[in-house]
């Protein structure tokens, strides 16, 4: 039997998915070393506010370093201080539109960051890795629901998506070259929602283009109307379809992947994390109206350039091999997002009264 893992290194741990995943890791009694270059939401002691909230939720500690993955010296120092069993690599820039405007910044941050991490992992002989990939690597779906063997890399229309595809390929190559690597790439569909406590969630102060934060802003009165991109797709009601997954389900998917790597040497393997269910924009709007008890005015406008009409996962592989299945309902996704938004209208910003009281 392989030894049980204890210490997990989490890059991008102060971010949306990282912070929720750390809650799950701590609840499973792992020790967590988190790094993030977060410059906006740290307190006067350089501690990430999201991770203070994580400590509040779990009653357990997270060791946090403010560190950029491009800072190889600091990264090396952190690895030299801890005996790390596995790495979960979330850190990346993820704004699709921004990635088209500043491609070099995205290639530098996402690709070089990943390379630096792999190098330090190899140096310290910690070659177990879970990588945050995305359904964006599938490009325009050739069939639905999407299985892991769907072609990847074709028709990825944005730089962000290409960085995810290139990193997956790089990971495949290192695992072919060196037997020691044991890697799972998790292709997330559309993560939404927040921790049911309302204490952590996606920082609304960051530039976003995703649907649920927009809906929520309309519900809270910050925006007057939701623009729906396209009403003439061949879908249930003409609007775009996606596979929305509750962030806590996504987090438990990482624990399942970790247990798999702990038990087996896979070299390189990919799993979809989604619910397997396609939801249209209008269905999401209706569910959010019910959860928030607010009316969400919308207009249906032209299709968004490069948009995909429908995308949802086949999740059989994760169910069979990781023994994992999404549990949360669409209603819970909306209720939990709404709770987070109403408790923290300015996210983790220090000028937000809720933040300073509860952190
Ligand atoms: P996020 O922006 O909330 O978190 C990412 C964190 O990484 C941030 O806190 C950021 O400060 C940090 N970071 C970025 N570059 C860094 C660097 N060079 N060094 C150290 N820290 C750095 O985003 P998220 O939604 O939590 O996404 C986490 C991962 O999941 C990303 O890799 C993203 O591409 C991937 N992903 C996200 C979604 C989504 O819809 N949220 C979907 C698919 C995949
Ligand atoms: C969902 C649906 C829109 C906003 C993103 C990333 C992608 C990946 C998955 C990270 C679509 C419609 C949206 C609005 C709308 N993430 N919409 N009005 O398109 O799946 O992609 O998440 O890896 O890289 O780009 O998600 O939330 O942007 O859009 O009508 O104001 O909502 O047309 O049908 P998408 P999304």
Q: Is the CB of 37 under 6 A from ligand 1?
A: yes
**pLDDT confidence band for 90 (50 / 70 / 90):** very high
Residues 341 and 218: their CA atoms lie apart, in Å, by 12
User: Of all atoms in ligand 1, which is nearest to the CA of residue 164?
Assistant: 34
| Per-residue model confidence (pLDDT) at position 350 | 58
Percent above pLDDT 90 for the chain: 87
- Confidence check: pLDDT of 357 > 50: no
- Confidence check: pLDDT of 240 > 90: yes
Percent above pLDDT 70 for the chain: 94
**Residue 34 in tokens:** 């988190």
Residues 213 and 232: their CA atoms lie apart, in Å, by 23
Residues 126-154 pLDDT 10s: 999 999 999 999 999 999 999 999 999 98
Mean pLDDT for 44-57 is: 88
| Per-residue model confidence (pLDDT) at position 223 | 93
Mean pLDDT for 55-72 is: 97
- Confidence check: pLDDT of 333 > 70: yes
| Per-residue model confidence (pLDDT) at position 155 | 84
Name the residue of 71, 90, 135 whose CB sits within 8 Å of the most ligand 1 atoms, as the mutation to test its pocket: 90
Query: Which value does ipTM take for this structure?
Result: 0.98
| Per-residue model confidence (pLDDT) at position 354 | 42
Going by alpha carbons, the residue nearest to atom 41 of ligand 1 is 191
| Per-residue model confidence (pLDDT) at position 174 | 98
CA 46 to each of CA 38, 64, 199, 321: distance values in angstroms, whole numbers, following the listed order: 9, 9, 19, 40
* Out of 45-49, 118-122, 254-258, 299-303, least confident range: 45-49
Residues 155-206 pLDDT 10s: 898 999 999 999 999 999 999 999 999 999 999 999 999 999 999 999 877 6
Mean pLDDT for 94-114 is: 95
- Confidence check: pLDDT of 77 > 80: yes
Name the residue of 187, 211, 212, 237 whose CB sits within 8 Å of the most ligand 2 atoms, as the mutation to test its pocket: 211
Residues 7-29 pLDDT 10s: 999 999 999 999 999 999 999 99
| Per-residue model confidence (pLDDT) at position 2 | 54
- Confidence check: pLDDT of 241 > 60: yes
| Per-residue model confidence (pLDDT) at position 40 | 57
| Per-residue model confidence (pLDDT) at position 113 | 98
User: How far does the centroid of ligand 2 lie from the alpha carbon of residue 349, in Å?
Assistant: 25
């Amino acid at each position: 039997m392989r030894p049980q893992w204890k210490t997990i290194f989490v890059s991008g741990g102060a971010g949306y998915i990282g912070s929720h995943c750390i809650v799950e890791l701590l609840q499973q009694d792992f020790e967590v070393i988190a790094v993030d270059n977060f410059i906006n939401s740290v307190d006067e002691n350089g501690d990430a506010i999201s991770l203070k909230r994580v400590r509040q939720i779990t009653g357990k500690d997270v060791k946090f370093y403010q560190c950029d993955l491009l800072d190889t010296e600091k990264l090396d120092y952190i690895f030299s201080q801890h005996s790390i069993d596995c790495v979960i690599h979330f850190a990346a820039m993820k704004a699709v539109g921004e990635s088209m405007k500043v491609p070099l910044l995205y290639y530098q941050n996402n690709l070089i960051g990943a390379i630096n991490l792999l190098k330090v992992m190899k140096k310290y002989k910690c070659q177990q890795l879970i990588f945050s990939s995305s359904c964006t690597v599938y490009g325009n779906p050739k069939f639905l629901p999407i299985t892991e063997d769907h072609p990847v890399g074709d028709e990825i229309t944005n730089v962000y998506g290409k960085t995810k595809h290139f990193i997956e390929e790089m990971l495949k190559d290192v695992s072919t070259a060196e037997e020691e690597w044991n890697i799972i790439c998790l292709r997330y569909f559309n993560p939404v929602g927040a921790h049911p406590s309302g204490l952590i969630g996606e920082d609304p102060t960051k530039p976003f283009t995703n649907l649920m934060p927009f809906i929520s802003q309309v519900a809270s009165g910050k925006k007057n109307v939701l623009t729906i991109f396209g009403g003439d797709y061949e879908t249930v009601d003409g609007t775009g379809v996606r596979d929305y997954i509750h962030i806590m389900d996504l987090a438990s998917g990482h624990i399942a992947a970790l247990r798999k790597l702990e038990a087996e040497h896979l070299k390189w393997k990919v799993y979809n994390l989604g619910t397997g269910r396609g939801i249209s924009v209008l269905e999401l709007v209706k569910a959010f109206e019910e959860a928030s008890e607010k009316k969400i005015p919308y207009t249906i406008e032209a299709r968004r350039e490069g948009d995909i009409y429908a995308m949802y996962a086949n999740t059989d592989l994760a169910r069979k091999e990781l023994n994992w299945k999404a549990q949360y309902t669409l209603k819970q996704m909306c209720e939990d997002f709404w709770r987070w938004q109403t408790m923290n209208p300015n996210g983790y910003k220090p000028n937000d009264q809720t933040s300073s009281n509860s952190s």
